[in-house]
Amino acid sequence: MSKTAEFEPKIATFLCTWCSYAAADLAGSSRIQYPPNIRVMRVPCTGRMDPFLIIKAFNEGADGILVSGCHPGDCHYLDGNLYARRRFVMLNELMQYAGVEEERLNFTWCSASEGKRFAQVVEKAVNRVKKVGPWQGFDGQGFAREEGELVSEQL
Amino acid sequence: MSSYEKVTDEIRSIAEKLLKEEEVEKIIGFGKGLFSDEVTPIFVSRLKDVDRLIFSPQASMSLAKYLLNYKEQKVAIVAKPCDSRAIASYLSEDMIKRENVKIIGINGCPGIEDNSACQECDIRNPVIADYTVGEEMSEEEIQAEIEDFEDEIEKMSPAERMEYFRKEFERCTRCYACREACYVCYCEQCFTESNQPDWVGESVKLNDNFTYHLMRSMHMAGRCVNCGACEMACPEGIDVRALAAKMVRAADEIFDYKAGLDPEQKTLLSEYDVNDREKGFMDE
């Protein structure tokens, strides 16, 4: 019995309640499998997302982030995601410039009917984060990982 | 006579005229500091003090922020081109009233000593002014003086960049001199002092220092005019401007946006275009 511990990232996931959260719901009720690495936070709209929330997620040890909202033009609040889009583009530039790998920053859109796409998005995001390995923090000290929760043991 | 002395003389004569005709109560300008070359902000309200106004290569601070202290008074302000952009931003953000401020703009700004931002500066004439001093620079003259800017940090790998910024922010003592010097940072309650939500720890741990600078730079996005006041203010000599300058370049490249060119202009993040690029998104 060989024990190889595989890195299981923890991805802070922000989903807008009207589209992407419903997509996650649909994925669930359709029994579509996707990796359990995401920790979902439900926000009223991606326009509500303060970029600080994402920076803070990294400050506190998330290995990556995933933000998903309604497709542009389909926002429940008409234009919330269009404001958010600019913010995310600028935040992405900033974080990458500061040395955070682009694989840790995942932004996308998912409508309420795209349960299957949501599962694919999560899978893609998890694979991207796995590629760059555990997040060591802005100070490079790493974070204490709870046994079993973050590192799964493959027997 | 150097251009600095010429500008000084012209500032004094305009200041004298404004005070004599009682157009303004106060003139915010640069004055001689306590030590040899030091320059300090001064506030002139008596005619006999007009001769204390100067302009020199050490006049690094952005005076625009003092306008927020005199919102209801009629004041005049000496403004370098970058300060004039800051004033234009204040006007666009409804922070000051146009009729209360007279702007003495410095045309063809000769630059500030040791300020690395001046080498990248492409706006050398004030964008908004009531009176101007110095000689206006033409577009060709400005282009000829810009040094080819190569971003060394951009060329590094993500890990090297992270290491570079760690080395820089490690020295940060969180004195907030950069915040106090910056014209953008006028919030009544800064996120660093907020405890609900508790955005960032107040101690000088590297993790929190890094987070503070990232968050501050995010507030700069689309508002920073790249004046370099933060860098000049930093007692530790940290490359504070690097992140904010990146935001300036990104806004220009991706959204073709420059902050503070027009008092009617909206800030980058307070408007949108349906066809905005989704640079860096998963599907692009």
- pLDDT tens by residue, A47-60: 999 999 999 999 99
Q: ipTM value, please give it.
A: 0.92
Domains delineated in chain A? 8-136 (3.40.50)
- Report the alpha-carbon distance of residue B94 to residue B75 in Å, rounded: 17
- Report the alpha-carbon distance of residue A20 to residue B189 in Å, rounded: 33
- DSSP track, chain A: ---EEEE---EEEEEETTTHHHHHHHHHHTT----TTEEEEEES-GGG--HHHHHHHHHTT-SEEEEEEPPTT-BTTBSHHHHHHHHHHHHHHHHHHTT--GGGEEEEE--TT-HHHHHHHHHHHHHHHHHH-S---TTS------BTTTEEEE-
- Report the alpha-carbon distance of residue B19 to residue B41 in Å, rounded: 18
Q: Which residues of chain A have a CB within 8 Å of the CB of B280?
A: 88-89, 92-93, 96, 102, 105, 107
Contact A51, A87 (CB under 8 A): yes
Closest Cα in chain A, distance from residue B137 (Å): 32
- Report the alpha-carbon distance of residue B63 to residue B42 in Å, rounded: 10
pLDDT of residue A143: 85
pLDDT of residue B137: 87
Amino acid letter, B271: E
Low-confidence residues of chain A: pLDDT under 70 = 1-5, 146-155
pLDDT of residue B70: 93
pLDDT of residue A4: 55
Q: Which residues of chain B have a CB within 8 Å of the CB of A125?
A: 282
Contact A93, B278 (CB under 8 A): no
pLDDT of residue A147: 56
- Report the alpha-carbon distance of residue B21 to residue B11 in Å, rounded: 15
First to last CA, chain B: 56
- Check CB contact of A88 with chain B, cutoff 8 Å: yes
Going by their DSSP bridges, the two strands B131-133 and B101-106 should be labelled as: parallel
CB nearest A138 (choices: B210, B270, B272): B210
Share of chain A above pLDDT 90, in %: 85
Put simply, the answer to whether B246 touches A93 (Cβ < 8 Å) is yes
Q: Which residues of B73-107 are buried (b: 16+ CB within 10 A; e: fewer)?
A: ebbbbbbbbbbbbbbbbbbbeeebeeeebbbbbbb
pLDDT, one tens digit for every residue, chain B (284 residues)? 578 999 999 999 999 999 999 999 999 999 998 888 889 999 999 999 999 999 999 998 899 999 999 999 999 999 999 999 999 999 999 999 999 999 999 998 888 988 889 888 889 999 999 999 988 888 888 888 877 778 889 999 999 999 999 999 999 999 999 999 999 999 999 999 998 899 999 999 999 999 999 999 999 999 999 999 999 999 999 999 999 999 999 999 999 999 999 999 999 999 999 999 999 998 76
Contact A20, A69 (CB under 8 A): yes
Q: Is B57 left (phi over 0), alpha (psi -120 to 50) or beta?
A: alpha
Contact B76, B28 (CB under 8 A): yes
pLDDT of residue A132: 94
User: pTM value?
Assistant: 0.93
Q: Which residues of chain A have a CB within 8 Å of the CB of B218?
A: 51-52, 55, 90-91, 94
* A and B: number of Cβ contacts within 8 A: 128
Amino acid letter, B142: I
pLDDT of residue A154: 45
Q: Which of B113, B88, B80, B87 is nearest to B7 (CA)?
A: B80
Nearest residue of A to residue B246, measured between CA atoms: A94
